[in-house]
A and B are shown apart, each in its own frame.
Chain A
Amino acid sequence: MSPTPEPRPDHRQPPADAASAKALARSPRAAFFYGITQALPFLIVIIPFAVLFGVVATEAGLNVRQVMGFSVLVLAGASQFTAVQLLQDNAPTIVIILSGLAVNLRMAMYSASLMPWLRDATAKQKAWISYALIDQTFALSIQHFERHPKLTINQRLAYFAGGALVLCGPWMLSTWAGATLGDAIPDDIALDFALPITFLAMIAPMLRTTAHLAACFVAIAAALLLAGMPSGLGLLIAAPLGMATGAVVEARTQPRSEA
């Protein structure tokens, strides 16, 4: 979930292999359905995560419309959980918004990575792509576009649309299911810990390099040291400290010639 893509579309690639020939031969309609089938496995994570958000947000005191407001208008799970957690801590509005945006900063990186591949889309298409640009649609499409660099813009758009439909639709529906179900869940179940477990589970597989470990460690240490600050403020200091640490360690451990 933390891809570090640096796409360099190269249109002088050697002749396509069999898989590539197949991808290139797809009509936009076929590419759309291919996108759908490729996205299906991600539902194993998306559906429970969305149900959980519905339940947790309802338990926190949001009504169904507000819960759905998050899943339809924000459409970014980790930041939705962050906002609800900070709402529960009675953090100031501005702190909640900044924290949510901090969680979503990586989306700017996704946008930059996809841009070379989707340059020829219309402004309206770009707006729809931006709306549906979540971790999973990004991961799916960037690997597909890089694998088959000669796809036409329509094939790329259709593939993205197929994935987005399968991932974003169920995100909203499952949120709604969770929000309606939320009231039925007894209070003594330790749901408070659903968020920490989910976030830790998302983070752990990303800890591949020394730089990732350092970023994570510094962020945790700072967050614990600053825990006495007004709610949410510690996060806004700890997170940039961690990010800077990761960047510095990466710069030191990687030879400069490596782009």
Chain B
Amino acid sequence: MQASAFQIWTIIIVLGIGTFLLRWSFLGALGNKELPEWVLRMLRYTPVAVLPALVAPLVVWPAATNGETDPARIAAATATVAVGVLTKNVLLAIIAGGSTLFGLLYVLG
């Protein structure tokens, strides 16, 4: 990581203020205004779009293997998603993914 302390604190403070304003927006400033239907629609899909987009390259080209696709990490990601979809349980999905990863890393050396 090359970031300076100044850069890190800038990120923390601006992200903190920005996040607060997002949370405060309707409670505080926008009051009774109704959100347009299309905005609500887009907002509904933020988590399922942003988080997978962030994660996908990390799964396919992990930094830990210098960007080389790693069977253990692909299998762990698959196990996490499969258990998450089937059980709807976040914790079980994490356990499934974690144990698959460590299990395979151990077996494959």
Contacts and interface: CB of A to CB of B under 8 A. Distances in A.
A207 B51 CA distance: 13
Contacts of A131: 20, 23
Contacts of A93: 3, 7, 10-11
B49 A197 contact: no
Interface string A227-259: 100000011001111111111001100000000
B62 A193 contact: yes
Contact of A234 (B11, B28, B41, B57): B57
Nearest to B82: A204
Question: Which size class do B's interface residues fall under?
Answer: 35 or more
B8 A222 contact: no
A110 B23 contact: yes
A184 interface: no
Q: Interface of chain B, helix or strand or loop or mixed?
A: helix
Contacts of B107: none
A190 B28 CA distance: 43
A66 B12 contact: yes
A98 B49 CA distance: 15
Pick from A90, A105, A207 the residue with the most CB of B within 10 Å.
A105
Nearest to B45: A246
Given A85-B58, A211-B45, A62 B20 contact: no
A109 B34 CA distance: 11
B23 A133 contact: yes
A203 B58 contact: no
7 closest cross-chain pairs (CB), A and B: A204-B84, A242-B49, A246-B45, A73-B16, A201-B93, A247-B41, A130-B24
Interface of B: 1-3, 5, 7-16, 18-20, 22-28, 30-32, 35, 38, 40-64, 73, 76-77, 80-85, 87-91, 93-94, 97-98, 101-102, 105
15 contacts: A62-B8, A82-B54, A87-B8, A93-B7, A96-B11, A99-B50, A108-B23, A108-B25, A108-B26, A109-B35, A112-B26, A195-B55, A200-B81, A205-B88, A206-B48
